[in-house]
Structure 1
Amino acid sequence: MTRISSTLRGLITALAALLAVTVSSAGARATTEPEAPEDFVALRTVDPTIIQEMRYFTPHNFVGEPIDGYRQPLCILTRPAAQALHQAQRKLLRQGYTLKVYDCYRPQRAVNHFVRWAEDLDDQAMKGEFYPNVDKTRLFEDGYIAEKSGHSRGSTMDLTIVKLPARQTRPYVPGEPLVPCYAPKDERFPDNSVDMGTGFDCFDTLAHTLDPRIQGEQRANRLLLKSTLEGLGFVNLAEEWWHYAFKPEPYPDTYFDFPVSWKSLISSH
């Protein structure tokens, strides 16, 4: 009887240990995040002089809150895109300018966040700045929001030019009065960027790179960015003066979903 009890106790203990391991490994699998391929890099490690103002890590964007997947204010790109951006920066530094990136690699979960926001027609908290003249029901139809983004492939970035020495841009305060993104530069939310005619992420036809209404210094600034980048293999999206993709892309058909963080890079190298 004692021997049977002892055997039974041993069996129960072994089963309990096996169950604990199974539960533990299932939990580990559930919390494992996707990782970046080895040829993704933090832009800072390729060119630390490029300013990074990662808008989707902050509430200062068209959604009005930090976006899913942005764990740190970090620009991540495929290595060829980062190296080409470094070459562009060298050209601009000689002319008294620096690049500034607003967004780089964007995880699919962030794009999903944009889609959920666009489908919620009651949430128009940031309309006054980012889409004053666009009815929210038209964001998909007009191409401002889509279910996939080239940013998720790792070779696309949103960026601008800043005159040196660069002044600090003050932080956005949630709830502060909003000014249309196409207002004169000294009325818009302050940005140390040169005047591009609109702010970043302006949902308006004035943001089209070659819109004929943008003239003078504003047009010259857009063309400086365009000519500098296009000479190094970048292609501009005609509807957004800030949007460029490096070609040929290492991952033309892959939409990644690893978080924007150092850990995504460190764990994959």
Structure 2
Amino acid sequence: MSGASRQPSLRATAILAASLTAISSPAHADPLPAGFVRLADVDRSIRQDVRYAGRENFLHRRVDGYDAPVCILTEKAARALSSVQKAIGPKGLTLVVFDCYRPARAVADMREWTKQGGPPDPRWYPTIGRGDLIAKGYVGELSSHSRGSTVDLAITAMDKKSAIHPACGAANTGTFDFGTGFDCFDPASETAHRPLAAEAAANRKMLVAAMLAAGFRNYAREWWHFTLVGEPFPKRRFDFPVTAN
């Protein structure tokens, strides 16, 4: 058989092989937008306990846009957060992050959820109804989290295993006592709230000082909420989903 007669078969074989490779190769998620990173790729030592990817949050369900319990931040914010970890690590301490970048669709999900109304929830918003959470400033129409340089977090000992079960907010497994849990929608969550137990007040002061030294400013109504000063996208809000890869 001549070379000319064999050529079509060779081409067909190559096409078939390429097709089989395409079918067997796993699909890869789209890369993050330029300027964003997964925190674990910058600093794996920072603990992640991302609450909106599960049920341990004020909605009692996964929030739209959280496809994985993963912290995503702008690279600038992630590296600044890593500098906090490096500063407190020698003291036997570690950061624990509860939320990082938040898709705009998640903010919309929270906003629509409040419109359903309902009575106070002693676990999360003990003194006001669900429908008043936006008016009282506890749930935002927009969120700085969607800009990618805001983070909700606490501090604990690296070897701490016990759980704190506060009267209000998330059960902060393994964190120090900050007086309330994360996402307690109540005046007691204000960073400078008084009266406050001495230990909780000292822990809040320690957290604010550590974050301030790395260029983060605290939101006075939430002891856990910090935004990077000089954030790279101060006027943009993103809506890509939170994924593991």
Q: What TM-score, normalized to structure 2?
A: 0.83
| Structure 1 residue 261 corresponds to structure 2 residue 243 | yes
2:177 and 2:237 mapped to 1: Cα distance?
32
Note if 1:180 corresponds to 2:162.
no
Which letter maps to 1:128?
Answer: P
What residue in structure 2 maps to residue 216 of structure 1?
Answer: 198
Q: What is the CA–CA distance in structure 1 between the aligned matches of 2:127 and 2:217, rounded to whole Å?
A: 27
> Residue 153 of structure 1 contacts residue 252 of structure 1 at CA under 8 Å; is this kept in 2?
yes
Q: Quick check: 1:169–1:190 contact (8 Å CA) kept in 2? A: yes
Structure 2 residue aligned with 1:137 = 131
Residues 166 and 179 of structure 2 are in contact (CA less than 8 Å); yes or no, is this contact kept in structure 1?
no
Distance in 2 between residues matched to 1:109 and 1:199, nearest whole Å: 25
2:172 is equivalent to residue 205 of structure 1: no
Structure 1 residues 45 and 179 mapped into 2: Cα distance closer, same or farther (>3 Å)? closer
Deviation (angstroms), 1:137: 2.9
Output the aligned Cα RMSD.
2.1
Going from structure 1 to structure 2, the CA distance change for 1:248 and 1:190 (only over 3 Å counts) comes to closer
Specify which structure has the bigger relative contact order, considering alpha-carbon pairs within 8 angstroms and separated by 6 or more residues: 1
Q: In the alignment, is residue 238 of structure 1 matched against residue 225 of structure 2?
A: no
> What letter matches 1:145 in structure 2?
V
Tell me the SS of whatever aligns to 2:123. helix
Tell me, yes or no, if the aligned pair for 1:97 and 1:161 is still in contact at 8 Å. yes
Q: Aligned pair 1:116/2:125, yes or no?
A: no
CA distance in structure 2 between the aligned counterparts of 1:162 and 1:35, rounded to whole angstroms: 32
Quote how far apart the aligned CAs of 1:208 are: 0.2
Q: 1:155, 1:190 → 2: CA distance?
A: 22
Separation in structure 2 between the aligned mates of residue 137 and residue 115 of structure 1, nearest angstrom: 10
Mapped partners of 1:49, 1:34: distance in 2: 25
Q: Is 1:106 paired with 2:88?
A: no
Letter in 1 for 2:75: R
Hey, what does 2:24 align to over in structure 1?
Answer: none
Q: Does the C-alpha gap of structure 1 residues 37 and 252 become closer, same or farther in structure 2, counting only changes over 3 Å?
A: same
Of the candidates 200, 211, 236, which is equivalent to residue 229 of structure 1? 211
Is 1:40 the equivalent of 2:36?
yes
The aligned amino acid for 2:209 is: S
Code of the residue aligned with 2:72 in structure 1: it is I
SS in 1 for 2:76: helix
CA shift in 2, pair 1:179/1:230, >3 Å: closer
Q: Of 130, 153, 164, which residue of structure 1 is paired with 2:147?
A: 153
Percent sequence identity over aligned pairs: 40
Question: Which structure 1 segments of 5+ residues have no match?
Answer: 1-32, 171-177, 183-187, 264-269
**Would the aligned equivalents of 1:50 and 1:98 in 2 still touch at CA under 8 Å?**
yes
Distance (Å, rounded) in 2 between the aligned partners of 1:254 and 1:190: 31
Cα distance in 1 for partners of 2:153, 2:140 equals 20
Equivalent residue in structure 1 for 2:232, among 238, 246, 250: 250
Amino acid at match of 1:205: P
Q: Distance in 1 between matches of 2:56 and 2:172?
A: 12
**Superposition deviation, residue 82 in structure 1:** 0.3
